[in-house]
Amino acid sequence: MKRTIYLLITVLLTCFSAGGQTLKLATVCIDPGHGGKDPGCVSKDGKTYEKTLTLDISKRLAEKINAGYPGVKVVLTRDSDKTLSVGARPAIANKVGADLFISIHINSVPKTTPSGYSVHVLGQSSQKDRDLFAYNMDICKRENSVILLEDDYTTTYQGFDPNDPESFIFLQLMQNSNLEQSLAFAQLVADKMKGGPIPTNRGVSQDPFLVLWKTAMPAVLIEIGFLSNSNDLTALKSPANRDKIATRLFNAFKEYKSRYDGSLSLDVEVEDGGQAPEKPSQDVKDPGTQGGVEYGIQNFAGSKLLYKKDKSFMGYEPRIVKSGKLYKYVIAVEPSVEESKAHLSKVRKKYPDSFLVKIEGETVSIVK
Phi and psi angles of residue 297, each rounded to the nearest 5 degrees, phi first: -120, 115
Clarify whether residues 292 and 155 are in a common domain. no
Whether 196 and 318 share a structural domain: no
pLDDT surpasses 80 at 106: yes
Q: Assign 124 a pLDDT band (cuts: 50, 70, 90).
A: low
12 vs 260: CA distance, rounded Å? 7
For residue 320, what pLDDT band results from cuts at 50, 70 and 90?
A: confident
| Same domain as 127, residue 68 | yes
Same domain flag for 294 and 236: no
Question: Is pLDDT above 50 for 52?
Answer: yes
Average pLDDT, integer, range 148-163: 44
Q: Does residue 49 form part of some domain?
A: yes
Mean pLDDT value across residues 328-347: 92
- Structural domain range at position 359: 283-366
State how far the Cα of 201 lies from the Cα of 114, in Å rounded to an integer. Answer: 11
Residues 6+ apart with CB under 8 A from 251: 192
290 and 253 within one domain: no
30, 153: one domain: yes
**What φ, ψ does residue 112 adopt, rounded to 5°?**
-100, -10
Within 8 A by CB and 6+ apart from 165, the residues are: 137
Question: Are residues 90 and 217 located together in one domain of the fold?
Answer: yes
Q: Residues 114, 231: one domain?
A: yes
Quick one: pLDDT at residue 225?
A: 96
More confident residue, 16 or 205: 205
Rounded Cα distance, 200 and 102, in Å: 20
- Write the CATH number for 58: 3.40.630.40
Of 51-60, 114-123, 240-249, which gets the smallest average pLDDT? Answer: 114-123
pTM of the model: 0.61
Query: In this predicted model, which residue has the larger pLDDT, 165 or 308?
Result: 308
Question: Is the residue at 191 inside a domain?
Answer: yes
Q: Are residues 166 and 292 in the same domain?
A: no
State the Cα–Cα distance between residues 343 and 181, nearest whole angstrom: 31
CB of 82 closer than 8 Å to CB of 35 = yes
Residue 254 lies in a domain: yes
C-alpha separations of 356 from 17, 35, 289, 340 in Å: 28, 36, 21, 8
Are 306 and 253 members of one domain? no
pLDDT of residue 260: 82
Tell which of 228, 245, 260 closes a domain: 260
- What is the per-residue pLDDT for 365? 84
Do residue 157 and residue 77 come from a single domain?
yes
Among 6, 7, 12, which Cα is nearest to 255's?
Answer: 12
pLDDT at res. 262? 59
If one counts the domains in the chain, the total is: 2
Buried b (16+ CB within 10 A) or exposed e, 289-321: eeeeebbbbbbbbbbbbbeeeeebbeebebbbb
- Position 11 in a domain: no
Average the pLDDT over 315-323 and give the result.
84
* 268, pLDDT greater than 90: no
**Which one-letter amino acid corresponds to residue 297?**
I
On the question of pLDDT at 249 being above 70, the answer is yes
3-class secondary-structure state, position 141: helix
Q: What is the pLDDT of the chain when averaged over all its residues?
A: 76
| Burial bucket for residue 124 (CB in 10 Å: 0-12, 13-18, 19+) | middle
The yes-or-no verdict on residue 273 having pLDDT over 50 is no
The pLDDT of 128-150, averaged and rounded, is 42
